[in-house]
């Protein structure tokens, strides 16, 4: 059966674009190097675009108080202007100038879950430019857990608007090299802090609705939020309704590799995947597995045995598959619902453009 498949090795393409890059790369491997962040912090403060690591994904940062800079963030990503940005802060108290009121629910989140992978939405203050909120009355705020992110924001002295640092539609970046690939020639600087721990974007919770409502599942789970806040409305795909999206970003094509992709959701996926491999005879097929396996008669990439590890690896592996010239990606997804698997399911379904087979 092995003859049916085309094998391919990792190519050297990665290294070609590194040479073309114009963004300054600043690598930080320990706290003793934090002074290297001053240059990036100064660039941010004066309105340049700087990408930086967070515990979720890399962010494309700009001074949130400078309207022109914020507009350049949208332009660099090719992001539709109706999709608002998250404002990142270094200290809990920095939230107060950005919002009308820190509600009791927000207070609980900032005391118990910040810093961490959760973003809340409150009514915005006049300080926040309309470009950040896409003209809306609410603002999303997040205090990242990643020390380099907070140190950079602290040294810049300004709140930092930052979407994920990928071109719109592409898988989010979880390594500095991903940012360089997408934006290296469009931004001033990339701070390289290694791989991101969570690998999927923060949970977004709207605290202006009653009960609070999860607009995007992420690293802080619904279970954690309900334990803290009481009733919380879980994430529902209906929020992505094109006509009245609660979180505009959720309606756009997202996280997509160049290949055709299909997800096999459930424990009994092997036979269905084998059928698809056969049906795509002659094409470059990659199977994403959830753990070590020798079983598929084509290229496989192990995303990891747990939903946590799979989440960390997903976007990196989708980019690897693209680089390798994959034409068809078939992904095992054997995880129980709940916890981080809710966020993983959300992202991988979107990566596959909704091509999902339920496999019991």
Q: Which residues bind Mg ion (CB under 5 A)?
A: 164
Position of minimal CB gap to ligand TXA: 249
> In terms of C-beta density within 10 A (0-12 exposed, 13-18 middle, 19 or more buried), how is residue 186 classed?
middle
> Ramachandran region of residue 121, left (φ > 0), alpha (ψ -120 to 50) or beta?
beta
264 pairs with which residues across the strands?
332, 357
| Site residues, ligand TXA (CB under 6 A) | 54, 56-57, 59, 83-86, 119, 121, 133, 136, 138-140, 142, 162-164, 201-202, 204, 215-216, 247-250
Q: Least Å distance between CB 203 and Mg ion? A: 13
Q: Least Å distance between CB 163 and Mg ion? A: 5
83 vs 346 by CB, closer to ligand TXA: 83
Sign of the dihedral through C-alpha 181, 186, 191, 197:
negative
Q: Considering only CA atoms, give the Rg of the chain.
A: 20
Q: What is the DSSP letter of 95?
A: G
CB-CB neighbours of 29 under 10 Å: 9
Q: Least Å distance between CB 52 and Mg ion? A: 15
179 vs 341 by CB, closer to ligand TXA: 179
Question: Cα separation of 296 and 301, whole Å?
Answer: 11
Indicate which of Mg ion, ligand TXA, none lies near residue 247 (CB less than 5 to 8 Å, by partner kind): ligand TXA
164 vs 324 by CB, closer to Mg ion: 164
Indicate which of ligand TXA, Mg ion, none lies near residue 153 (CB less than 5 to 8 Å, by partner kind): none
- Of the candidates 88, 128, 95, 125, the residue with the CA atom closest to the CA atom of residue 110: 95
Indicate which of Mg ion, ligand TXA, none lies near residue 202 (CB less than 5 to 8 Å, by partner kind): ligand TXA
Q: Least Å distance between CB 265 and Mg ion? A: 23
Q: Least Å distance between CB 260 and Mg ion? A: 22
Indicate which of ligand TXA, Mg ion, none lies near residue 133 (CB less than 5 to 8 Å, by partner kind): ligand TXA
Q: What are phi and psi of 302, to 5 degrees?
A: -85, 115
Q: Least Å distance between CB 316 and ligand TXA? A: 16
Indicate which of Mg ion, ligand TXA, none lies near residue 257 (CB less than 5 to 8 Å, by partner kind): none
Question: Cα separation of 49 and 146, whole Å?
Answer: 19
179 vs 285 by CB, closer to ligand TXA: 179
CA 354 to chain centre: 18
Tokens representing 222 are 């619904």
Indicate which of Mg ion, ligand TXA, none lies near residue 140 (CB less than 5 to 8 Å, by partner kind): ligand TXA
């Amino acid at each position: 059966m092995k003859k049916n498949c085309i094998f391919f090795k990792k190519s050297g393409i990665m290294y070609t674009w590194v040479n073309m890059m114009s963004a300054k790369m600043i690598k930080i491997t320990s706290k003793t190097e934090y002074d290297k962040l001053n240059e990036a912090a100064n660039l941010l403060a004066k309105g340049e675009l700087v990408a930086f690591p967070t515990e979720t994904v890399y962010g494309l940062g700009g001074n949130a108080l400078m309207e022109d800079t914020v507009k350049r963030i949208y332009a660099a990503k090719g992001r539709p202007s109706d999709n608002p940005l998250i404002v990142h802060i270094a200290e809990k108290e920095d939230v107060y100038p950005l919002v009308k009121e820190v509600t009791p629910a927000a207070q609980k989140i900032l005391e118990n879950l910040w810093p961490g992978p959760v973003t809340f939405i409150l009514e915005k203050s006049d300080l926040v430019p309309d470009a950040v909120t896409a003209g809306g009355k609410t603002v999303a705020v997040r205090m990242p857990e990643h020390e380099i992110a907070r140190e950079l924001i602290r040294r810049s002295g300004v709140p930092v608007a930052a979407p994920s640092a990928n071109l719109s539609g592409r898988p989010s970046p979880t390594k500095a090299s991903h940012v360089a690939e997408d934006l290296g020639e469009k931004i001033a600087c990339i701070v390289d802090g290694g791989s991101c721990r969570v690998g999927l974007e923060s949970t977004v919770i709207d605290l202006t609705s009653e009960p609070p409502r999860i607009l995007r599942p992420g690293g802080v789970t619904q279970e954690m939020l309900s334990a803290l806040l009481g009733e919380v409305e879980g994430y529902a795909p209906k929020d992505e309704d094109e006509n009245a999206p609660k979180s505009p970003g959720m309606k756009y094509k997202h996280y997509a590799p160049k290949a055709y992709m299909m997800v096999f959701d459930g424990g009994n996926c092997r036979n269905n995947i084998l059928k698809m491999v056969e049906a795509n005879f002659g094409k470059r097929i990659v199977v994403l597995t959830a753990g070590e396996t020798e079983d598929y008669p084509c290229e496989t990439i192990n995303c990891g045995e747990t939903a946590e590890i799979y989440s960390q690896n997903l976007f990196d592996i989708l980019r690897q598959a693209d680089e390798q010239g994959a034409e068809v990606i078939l992904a095992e997804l054997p995880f129980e619902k709940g916890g981080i698997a809710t966020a993983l399911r959300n992202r991988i379904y979107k990566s596959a453009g909704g091509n999902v087979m339920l496999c019991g």
